[in-house]
Structure 1
Amino acid sequence: MDFSKVDFLLSVHSIKQLPEEGMPEIAFAGKSNVGKSSLMNTLIGRKALVKVSARPGKTQGLNYFQVGNQCYLVDLPGYGYAKVPKAMKDAWQGLISTYLEKRATLKCVVVIIDIRHEAKAHDSQLIEWLREQSIPFLPVYTKIDKLSGSARGKHARLLDLGHGINKDERILFSSHTGQGRDELIAALQSFLFS
Structure 2
Amino acid sequence: MPLNLNNAEFIRSAAKAADFPRDMLPQVVFAGRSNVGKSSVINKLLNRKNFARVGSAPGKTTHINYFLIDKKLYLVDLPGYGYAKVSQAEKARWGRLIESWFADQTLMTLGVLIVDSRHKPTADDCVMADWFKQSGRPFVVVANKLDKLKKSEIEPNLQRVRETLELDESVKVIPFSAEKGEGRTALLDAILDHQEGM
Indicate if the aligned counterparts of 2:33 and 2:82 stay in contact, CA closer than 8 A: yes
For residue 19 of structure 1, report the CA deviation from its aligned partner: 2.1
Residue number in structure 2 paired with 1:141: 143
Q: Once the two structures are superposed, what CA deviation does each residue of 1:67-114 show, in whole Å capped at 9, x if it has no partner?
A: 012101111100112111111111111111111220413101100000
Give the number of equivalent residue pairs. 194
Query: Which of 161, 164, 167 is residue 163 of structure 2 equivalent to?
Result: 161
Percent identity of equivalent pairs: 35
TM-score, length-normalised on structure 1? 0.95
For residue 132 of structure 1, report the CA deviation from its aligned partner: 2.3
Indicate if the aligned counterparts of 2:102 and 2:135 stay in contact, CA closer than 8 A: no
Secondary structure at the residue paired with 2:109?
A: strand
Indicate if the aligned counterparts of 1:12 and 1:63 stay in contact, CA closer than 8 A: yes
Indicate if the aligned counterparts of 2:140 and 2:171 stay in contact, CA closer than 8 A: no
Unmatched 5+ stretches in structure 2 = none
CA distance in 1: counterparts of 2:5 and 2:45, whole angstroms: 7
Correspondence 1:106-185 to 2 at 5 A: 106-165=108-167, 166=169, 169-185=172-188
CA distance in 1: counterparts of 2:47 and 2:64, whole angstroms: 21
TM-score, length-normalised on structure 2? 0.93
Secondary structure at the residue paired with 2:65?
A: strand
Secondary structure at the residue paired with 1:29?
A: strand
Q: Which moved more, 1:166-175 or 1:139-148?
A: 166-175
Indicate if the aligned counterparts of 2:34 and 2:84 stay in contact, CA closer than 8 A: yes
For residue 4 of structure 1, report the CA deviation from its aligned partner: 2.4
1:69 aligns with 2:71: yes
Q: Once the two structures are superposed, what CA deviation does each residue of 1:34-74 show, in whole Å capped at 9, x if it has no partner?
A: 01000000001100011101311100100110101210111
Indicate if the aligned counterparts of 2:105 and 2:135 stay in contact, CA closer than 8 A: no
Secondary structure at the residue paired with 2:120?
A: coil
Indicate if the aligned counterparts of 1:145 and 1:176 stay in contact, CA closer than 8 A: yes
Correspondence 1:50-61 to 2 at 5 A: 50-61=52-63
Residue number in structure 2 paired with 1:88: 90
Residue number in structure 1 paired with 2:46: 44
Alignment RMSD: 1.4
Indicate if the aligned counterparts of 1:21 and 1:104 stay in contact, CA closer than 8 A: no
CA distance in 2: counterparts of 1:78 and 1:174, whole angstroms: 19
Secondary structure at the residue paired with 2:50?
A: coil
Letter in 2 for 1:81: Y
Unmatched 5+ stretches in structure 1 = none
